[in-house]
Structure 1
Amino acid sequence: MMKIFVLLLVAMMTGCEATSEDSSEDSSEDIDMMGCSGGWVDFTCRYPDVNTSYEAVYVKCGDETVIESNLTASWKSQNRFHLYHDRTNKNLRVIIRQLQSNDFKKWKCGFDQHDSDQEVDLKREDSYETPFNQIAYKTAKTTITCEYPNKSNVKFFCKDNGFICEDILSEPPLRSNGTFSLNITGTGLIVSISNVSTQHLGDYWCGLKSKDGISRAGLKKIHLNVEDITTSELSLAVGQTSTFRCDYPESSSIFRFFCKGEDPSSCQTLISKQGSRRSTGRFSLKEDHRKKQINITVTGVTAEDTGTYWCGTKNSGSKTDKFYHRFLVTVVPKSQEEEVWLLPVISAVVVCLVVVLIIILVLVYKRCKRSETWRDGGALEEQAYAEIQERPPLPTIYATANFPSISSAPPGYSVVTFKNSSDVKGDAYSTVRHPDPSPVYSTVNHTCPHCL
């Protein structure tokens, strides 16, 4: 009986001890990360005690404090270091950009002058490819390839927005968002960007992150530059022979090629040359040094020749080729080719006829308007003449008064009286004659009011 009691007591004590060990175990786990020189890391430290509200936070590299802040819900930046104190989620987010050789050691987050038990062990991994520049062309497609020696972490693709690299695609769950598409391979990932525009210009990163998402590392930087390119649209008929002409700058490489594919970075080379002339199957290439031009001739065009073609040169010391001309080729049967050729001609004729018809209608309208205006003016003129009435000539009446011949006579008067007749409407005149310079007076009476 005593033995059973002792065994039970030992079992209970053992159970308590196990529970105590479990409860004393720190809930925070260390973070192991890989980074490369020139790259960046982004990790999150949890609160040591979720029931405590911390005021001041800091980050230490080894024994050195590199950044500290009293801010909350706001980024604090100092040189290459950036931190964000999130009281809502009870954590501290840290971003370190442009990693240097002395950054590859253990890091710690601090809360109110107390170091967290959680450590971030940053290891150096320089086996990833060095940064490079890639040229993409407007409205075309471009492909970015990233190789990863480590397959255990989650692969992602992001674009720099300030000091934060914003996720575009990752595995899983986002493999495509319309413009970008992600293809996971056995050794890395391939990202395709379709319908390239100037908004895609910028710095991109291929990286690895933990499955819980609390740590990320940017390992390969790609600077994407977007350029214009001369584009020609061609309609070819089955069976015909056609020539593509491409101009190139004098400073370009002497190794020129002609390829087919929607994406120039992965197009299939059809013919290339380093001499003056080269022929391969149905394709032949000839260079005109005087015109700085290459001519590619294809014989026996087939329906399979429909697609996008590029003229380019290979640049020594660069991982990307340079392209100068794009051809968008459509191959149709001969009958359709004739229709395609006639269509713009017919359209031009129709447009010309419509323009001529409009001009004729405008001229006719103006002529009719002018005739109507002329007729209206003539009618008004006739009406004005009709209102003018002629008056018949009126007779003129003359009266002559003779003075007496006696010079000594006193001044004489002569009175002339006209008949009061309404028939006499003409002018009336009175003439007084006197041979003597003596004063002469003449009074004229006219009883017809119409004569004055």
Structure 2
Amino acid sequence: MWSHQNLQLMLCTALSCVSSAAGLILVFGYEGRDVMVSCPYDPGYERYQKYLCNSSCGYSDFLIRSSQENKTKYSVYDDKTTRVVTVTISDLHFDDAGKYWCGVTRAGKDIYTEVQLEVKADRCCDTVNNIQGNEDGSVTISCPYDSQSDNKLKFFCRGNRPSTCLQQAVITSSNTQDGRFRLSDDRKSGIFTVTISSLTLKDSGSYLCGVQRNSGFDVFSAVDLEVKEWCCVESKNLSGIAGRAVTFQCPYPPHHRNNMTFLCKGAQRSDCTYMTYQGRFTLHNVNAAFFSVVITKLEAEDSGTYWCRSDPEWIVGNYTQFHLTVEEVEQRGLSIIEAQYWLFAALPVLLLILIIILVKVCRTKRRQLNEAAVDMNTSKLEAADAQDVTSGEDIYKNDDVAAMFRQQKRTQQRTHVLPGTADEDQVIYENNPTEQIYCNHFI
């Protein structure tokens, strides 16, 4: 026995009830995502059964009824207060696109509302705008839109899924400032811009610029942001002495010829105090290769990290990092070069002192040797005299003859060597040791 409901369904099918649709509902969804089909109904039908069907709404075309439990693919909720029945279709596929009907069961003809579902791939876009930025810097992204979207909501999100972009937007035109993100809308040019400051490496990735539509799919444009790491920056270590000067040499590319040069001090580029080229900081030697900054009369407080560049933006390769250490004079020992310098400077004085000492030593030694030689000769003469006297007395036995004999022997000993002969040299060398001769030659 057929039920009354089955009979109604057969009658509706035979009478083409779906042709009497009240209005048209357009629904748009993305592949793999969910979509909600909301169908309003008139007062007085709150207690009536609602359903969603497709094709011709035959018995086998019913997808879900409000009296049924929710299914995996379809779920239904009837809000009797607002008089809207909502059917959610999960995990959309392209073959889900097409015509549907929202129906309200009643005696006679059911009430139908036509639903047209369009399914689109959840990705964007065929054209991607590539943007580059630098770590710790900022970047501005331009998002164009058509003239019909002047008053529409603009938004900016991360990723490339249009289905969730608005819900996950990092900034919108209704809230133009949010942390590091700022949105500005120029309706005359038809472009809204998003500025991201204090960039980090994690900011690299895909983004979407979106414009909300009242009906249909929202409009998107894709952006790919690459944040460059400060990996190739030249870093130098410098040391200076308090009270003296130190020089920074910064690269200066030819295409920066008309750019202003900068020197700033700080541990981070984002927190760097510009040093004016006045007082102890002066600019020198600006040419096509580099420019120099000289710090005179260094102070202990000058120690720290410096950055010099010749470009208004922090671009990789356009700046140099310096780590300056200022040392006090008392705490700084002599270097090897300085020690060698002082050694060579003092060497002539040391040699002169050594010569003077040697001369004095030789003269003293010579005097002592001469005195020793005289004493020796005197002793020999006295011994010889004594021997001569004894011999004379024994021979002649006469005091006068012995005295004459001693005088004669003394004269012969003193004059038996002629000056200028080889025997004279022999006598000199015999009476003067080698050390005395060396001193004589040295003097």
> Taking structure 1 as the reference length, what is the TM-score of the superposition?
0.36
> Taking structure 2 as the reference length, what is the TM-score of the superposition?
0.36
Higher strand fraction: Structure 1 or Structure 2? 1
Higher helix fraction: Structure 1 or Structure 2? 2
